[in-house]
Amino acid sequence: MADLTTKLLGFTLEHPIMPAAGPPVRNAAALLACAAGGASALVTKTISVRAAAVPAPNMADFKTYFLNTELWSELSPEQWLEEEYAKTQSAGLPMIIGLGYTAEDIAELAPKVAPFADAIELSTHYISDDPEPMQAAVRAAIEGAGVPVLVKMSPFREPQRAALAAQEAGAAGIVAVNSFGPAFGVDIANGGRPWMGGQGYGWMSGPALKPIGLRMVYDIARVVDIPIIGVGGISTGADVVEYLMVGATAVQICTAAITKGPQIFGKVARQLDRWLDKHGYASVAEIQGLTLQQGIPQMTAPPTLIPEKCVGCGLCVTSCVYDALYLVEKKIRIHAENCEKCGLCLSRCPTGALQFVN
């Protein structure tokens, strides 16, 4: 077994996988279900100074992506303070409490949640590109609660400048990323009505968000000295590997916890363990930041062919728009003079019969 132990904000976590703020952590019962499902830490749904009026319908699953019109917690801050936080502490896990949104809101809430919080996560989803409101919120949280403060980034802003501004204000870590949008879904089986309530559009999460989340973590990791928690499209151990390699220290899961249930946290941790063992890594620490050590690839020659690995599936031939690939007796061949070195065949081949040439 690999060592999945993760150091984060002074905590020692059993592994790097926890929930993200959202429906799977809507109250104490849901948070305890995440703990029972194998989460290594708990992140509460974001509260503000008043309960949110969440529209209905507010979630739809399209398999490759997920839409939601979720807001902050539909429970009042009083209910969280009087009931939910205290019940959640029975899990015995570090608790990161989500707060929003303005510095004034944070100044009011932070001292109240301080007795329950091991850390605070601030959402910047509703804050403009000007970093000062976010920095003011960070300072208010630090002053009011006296615990580490994480800043959750939105995927549609320039990440490095925002992350540096958060670090400058005293943030102890970055969470990247929140859902993307506004996005729209149409129910074509019911007259073309919008899938979402409210204004009809929502926010996109799920598998389609992962490339955006990876890019945000990769960019942020190159400029800050504080830990990053990666979020977006994680449902397998291999997804976690990608986030760790681009610079994340830990990860959060939301959409997969909705579609697959709270047992996803332990399942993904076990998959991560098996992946590390299979690939010869002794710990998560060994893969953290590996992508940051890699140069940007330059493909200077056609791919190397390994015919004995080819199963004749034809996927690469079908998708080669340059007519450079063909099969002879169900084995791959190449017209090297046609190859434009686009690299698509490398990702299409399921058996590794085509290899990268630098």
- State the pLDDT at residue 126: 63
CB 89 within 8 A of CB 95: yes
351 in the same domain as 237: no
CB 159 within 8 A of CB 231: no
- State the pLDDT at residue 127: 66
Last residue of a domain, one of 293, 312, 345: 293
Question: Does residue 50 lie within any of the structural domains?
Answer: yes
Question: Does residue 191 lie within any of the structural domains?
Answer: yes
Backbone angles phi, psi at 254, to 5 degrees: -125, -65
Give the integer Cα–Cα distance in Å for 197 and 206.
Answer: 19
317 in the same domain as 170: no
Give the integer Cα–Cα distance in Å for 287 and 96.
Answer: 25
Q: Establish whether the linkage from the previous residue to 57 is cis, with ω within 30° of 0.
A: yes
- State the pLDDT at residue 326: 94
288 in the same domain as 238: yes
Give the CATH number for residue 57: 3.20.20.70
350 in the same domain as 246: no
Question: Does residue 299 lie within any of the structural domains?
Answer: no
pLDDT tens for the chain, residues 1 to 358: 999 999 999 999 999 999 999 999 999 999 999 999 999 999 999 999 999 999 999 999 999 999 999 999 999 999 999 999 999 999 999 999 999 999 999 999 999 999 999 999 998 876 677 899 999 999 999 999 999 999 999 998 889 999 999 999 999 999 999 999 999 999 999 999 999 999 999 999 999 999 999 999 999 999 999 999 999 999 999 999 999 999 999 999 999 999 999 999 999 999 999 999 999 999 999 999 999 999 999 999 999 999 899 999 999 999 999 999 999 999 999 999 999 999 999 999 999 999 988 7
314 in the same domain as 264: no
Question: Does residue 298 lie within any of the structural domains?
Answer: no
Residues with Cβ within 8 Å of 153's Cβ and at least 6 positions away in sequence, in order, are 124, 159, 162, 163, 174, 175, 176, 177, 178, 216, 220
Question: Kind of pairing, strands 173-176 and 228-231?
Answer: parallel
229 in the same domain as 349: no
221 in the same domain as 317: no
Count: domains in the chain: 2
Last residue of a domain, one of 245, 262, 293: 293
329 in the same domain as 263: no
- State the pLDDT at residue 285: 97
201 in the same domain as 76: yes
Give the CATH number for residue 318: 3.30.70.20
Last residue of a domain, one of 262, 293, 324: 293
Question: Does residue 256 lie within any of the structural domains?
Answer: yes
| Tokens found for residue 191 | 């007259």
Domain around 343: 304-355
Question: Does residue 17 lie within any of the structural domains?
Answer: yes
CB 47 within 8 A of CB 109: yes
315 in the same domain as 280: no
Q: Half-sphere exposure of 104 toward its Cβ, with a 13 Å CA cutoff? A: 1
- State the pLDDT at residue 124: 81
